[in-house]
Amino acid sequence: MSILEKLTSKDAIALEEKHGAHNYHPLPVVLNKGEGVYVWDVEGKKYFDFLSAYSAVNQGHCHPKIVNAMVDQAKTLTLTSRAFYNDVLGSYEKYVTETFHYDKLLPMNTGAEAVETALKLCRKWAYEKKGIAENQANIIVCENNFHGRTTTIISFSNDPVARQNFGPFTDGFIKIEYDNLEALEKVLAENSNVAGFLVEPIQGEAGVYVPSEGYLAGAKALCEEYGVLFIADEVQTGIARTGKLLATCGNCSCADKHCSGTPEVKPDILILGKALSGGAYPVSAVLANDAIMNVIRPGNHGSTFGGNPVAAKVGVAALEVVKDEALAQNAYDLGELFREELNKFIPSCSVVNAVRGKGLLNAILINDTEDSSTAWDICMALKENGLLAKPTHGNIIRFAPPLVMNKEQLLDCVSIIKKTLQQFDK
Ligand SMILES: *Cc1c(COP(=O)(O)O)cnc(C)c1O
């Protein structure tokens, strides 16, 4: 009946190859089912998902509470646009702003849209509140950042593959080295037209680069000193991934359902996406206090789907799951265990140099040249052994399983990873 019925992996890949744009290079595995920490391919083989859709599926695949919220709302009302009110958005905004301690939320759909929103908000604030002259505002960004794929966002990327032949680019960004407070201070001291500093608390795409202890707090203090907005892109690091509700949270033992998200560093503008919906639906958000968010007035910004009732219901359910199941604490505990186990193993294995990360956002660094295919080959072998992961820049493999994993499952995964790496030992 349907052309989508009973495809083999080979058929499905061939269809995408022929009819789809080639903007990704997926691992050759075709999935048709997911539950919790597992996914299955069309031939019925079961895998541990060790990517979680780039940390969107923190709550696990097809979490029943999230799916039920989505289905119930989908049967009732899906979209009104913001031309009219709906009876869900306000409650969602209240719940999310109370969870993260901000006055207001601006709803969007994807991470890139939320980053764009934050950039626009920051610029408008700079002109109207800080008094920067028209069109002169600069936003400081970091080298090797990843914030999405729009024309403006790639304007300040330094990934040639993401940029080449997509110009002309958007002006108004100053790039500095990540994890370098002196570089930040120098730019702030030399420029009176800086509106904001946009930063990932851990650079995920760049290879799970964890900055030095105190970097974020130091950067925030500098931003305050110079009257510049500190903008945290927590699209990948947020929602319990790094062992705390946010990577910018303090070191409360961010234990449990009572986690207050106490900030170590409170961003002036917080950007969320990915796991804000548990991977069920595109939901992103920008949070800020009134002194900033109130520069946005009717007509200044918008999105047809942003703030739709399905997204709002899904967003609440997804955050409730994080709290009810104490996923931040679980990510913290399992992350410690994961790095401990791999650190015991690494000295005996020539193919991997190090493991690094926080919570369940980790990476291993493969002992080979940037342009070698070793990381890819290891991911292919991991797949054969029942675990799905993907190389990120060069010779780095990111490991980011759903946070609903238990200890036994994590140790199974560690065994698979060790066994696979041993196959590559020279
Ligand atoms: C994934 C990601 C984005 C972009 O999100 P999309 O939903 O893919 O547009 C932005 N920032 C960070 C840090 C991300 O990891």
Give pLDDT, residue 68.
Answer: 98
Domain ranges of the chain: 48-62+327-423, 64-324
**Would you state the pLDDT for residue 356?**
97
Low-confidence ranges of the chain (pLDDT < 50): 1, 253-258
Q: Is 255 helix (H, G, I), strand (E, B) or coil?
A: coil
Report the separation in Å between the CA atom of 116 and the middle of ligand 1, taken as the mean of its atom positions: 11
Residue type (1 letter), 46? K
If we measure between CA atoms, which residue out of 218, 332, 310, 233 comes closest to residue 273?
233
The answer to whether residues 170 and 181 touch, using CB atoms and an 8 Å cutoff, is no
**Alpha carbon nearest to ligand 1 atom 11, residue:** 147
CA of residue 316 to ligand 1 center, whole Å = 20
Report the CATH number of the 64-324 domain.
3.40.640.10
Contact by Cβ (8 Å): 176, 170: no
Q: What is the pLDDT of residue 263?
A: 63
274 is an active site residue:
yes
Ligand 1: nearest atom to the Cα of 282: 7
Q: Residues lining ligand 1, CB < 6 A? A: 54, 110-112, 115, 146-148, 200, 204, 233, 235-236, 273-274
Give the mutation target among 202, 231, 274 for probing the ligand 1 site: most ligand atoms within 8 A of CB.
Answer: 274
Residues 6 or more apart whose CB falls under 8 angstroms from that of 296 comprise 106, 121, 124
pTM over 0.85: yes
Measured in angstroms, how far is the CA atom of residue 145 from the centroid of ligand 1?
Answer: 11
Question: 48-62+327-423 belongs to which homologous superfamily?
Answer: Aspartate Aminotransferase, domain 1 (3.90.1150.10)
Q: Which atom of ligand 1 is nearest to the CA of 109?
A: 7
Max Cα separation, the chain? 66
Using one digit for the tens of pLDDT, what is the confidence trace for 377-405? 999 999 999 999 999 987 999 999 999 99
Residue 274: closest CA among 40, 39, 108: 108
Residue nearest to atom 15 of ligand 1 (CA): 236
Phi, psi of 373 (to 5 degrees): -95, 15
